[in-house]
């Protein structure tokens, strides 16, 4: 008989990268809905601040200072969760960083550091979480990206890490199903989300980085994560733009490649870099869910909200397929001046 996940207000939820952005928003929202939350990140001061805010509202949380690229740290997150709350019901692998710069200019050390956080952190978190949930069941939720399906210039290794997370997540899901392990596995694929990710990035360019539009609020990703914790889905795109772009790349990869110059331009602001070193190796002031995107941020994603409901999903998929076809037709004509 398939495993049925607990209601959210009966769950213990581990969230990595909980000091800012999507992780912070997810942790706060989960606590507001009654879950007991385990906050993990490198920045202890920010985690303590988040925990205090949750507890001030009557929620229950603990925090663990950890580098997800180190197995001992990840194991300690799980141990603290068990000690404080008796077990783990959902584990969210959210911690991640990015680098802005051409692949040929980024150092090997910086590439390796990004992969250790984004990919290896997800691998370690998944393996540790599955061992703790193997007997009791639960949900594993990994944060991929629209970059799991396609690529964009200036963030090549970030896209590579998200492609690898998709391959790892898909394989782990198959192996758990084959072994009869009652752990659901979901991959979340957000479009651009208004978080401090660009401000925390290692930046090799001569301009302050930004997110390409359309941009969505982190609460949309948090809604998808918490939905998957109770009602698992295989993959969830956050933002209709993510689904449209993924379909476009699949249908016309050559046409998508020709969008490279436009995608590059959309990731650059006019001002000079504020903090080129970023948070790749050291922690930065955190505790902020939202970033500083200079343009319009969507209030919500009708596509994502609809996709979390079983009945409208087929209709939404059909509508987005039609949109992708129109995008393909326009893209096949080539870029215009």
Task: Give the catalytic positions in this structure.
Answer: 158
User: Residue 169's CB: how many other CB atoms inside 10 A?
Assistant: 26
Find out whether 120 and 16 touch, Cβ atoms under 8 Å: no
Find out whether 137 and 3 touch, Cβ atoms under 8 Å: yes
Find out whether 138 and 91 touch, Cβ atoms under 8 Å: yes
CA angle 227, 196, 221 (to 5 degrees): 10
List, in sequence order, every residue forming a beta bridge with 192; answer none if it has no partner: 215
Q: Tokens in use for 324?
A: 């992708």
List, in sequence order, every residue forming a beta bridge with 40; answer none if it has no partner: 16, 64
- Using CB atoms within 10 A of its CB, is residue 297 exposed (0-12), middle (13-18) or buried (19+)? middle
Strands 183-190 and 235-238: what pairing?
Answer: parallel
| Closest to 238 measured CA to CA, from 123, 143, 326, 166 | 143
Q: Cα 12 to the chain's mean position, in Å?
A: 19
Q: Tokens in use for 257?
A: 């490649």
User: Residue 58's CB: how many other CB atoms inside 10 A?
Assistant: 9
Give the span between the Cα atoms of 257 and 266, in whole angstroms: 15
């Amino acid at each position: 008989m398939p495993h049925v996940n607990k209601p959210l207000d009966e769950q213990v939820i581990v969230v990595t990268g909980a000091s800012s952005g999507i992780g912070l928003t997810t942790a706060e929202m989960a606590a507001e809905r009654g879950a007991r939350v385990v906050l993990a990140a490198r920045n202890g001061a920010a985690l303590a601040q988040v925990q205090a805010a949750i507890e001030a509202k009557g929620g229950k949380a603990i925090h663990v200072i950890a580098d997800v690229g180190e197995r001992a740290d990840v194991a300690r997150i799980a141990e603290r969760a068990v000690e404080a709350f008796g077990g783990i019901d959902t584990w969210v692998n959210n911690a991640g960083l990015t680098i802005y710069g051409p692949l040929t200019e980024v150092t090997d050390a910086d590439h390796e550091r990004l992969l250790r956080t984004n990919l290896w952190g997800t691998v370690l978190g998944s393996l540790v979480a599955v061992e703790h949930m193997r007997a009791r069941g639960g949900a594993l939720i990994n944060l991929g990206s629209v970059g799991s399906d396609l690529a964009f210039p200036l963030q090549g290794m970030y896209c590579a890490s998200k492609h690898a997370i998709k391959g790892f997540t898909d394989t782990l899901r198959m192996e758990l199903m084959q072994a009869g392990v009652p752990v659901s596995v979901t991959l979340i694929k957000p479009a651009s989300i208004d978080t401090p990710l660009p401000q925390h990035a290692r930046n090799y360019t001569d301009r302050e980085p930004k997110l390409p539009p359309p941009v969505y609020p982190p609460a949309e990703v948090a809604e998808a994560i918490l939905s998957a914790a109770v009602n698992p889905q295989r993959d969830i795109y956050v933002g209709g733009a993510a689904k449209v772009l993924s379909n476009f790349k699949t249908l016309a990869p050559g046409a998508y490649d020709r969008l490279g110059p436009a995608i590059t331009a959309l990731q650059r602001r006019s001002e000079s870099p504020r903090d080129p070193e970023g948070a790749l190796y050291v922690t930065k002031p955190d505790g902020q869910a939202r970033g500083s995107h200079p343009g319009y941020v969507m209030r919500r994603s009708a596509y994502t909200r609809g996709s979390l409901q079983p009945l409208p999903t087929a209709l939404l998929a059909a509508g987005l397929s039609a949109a992708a076809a129109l995008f393909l037709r326009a893209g096949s004509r080539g870029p215009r001046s």
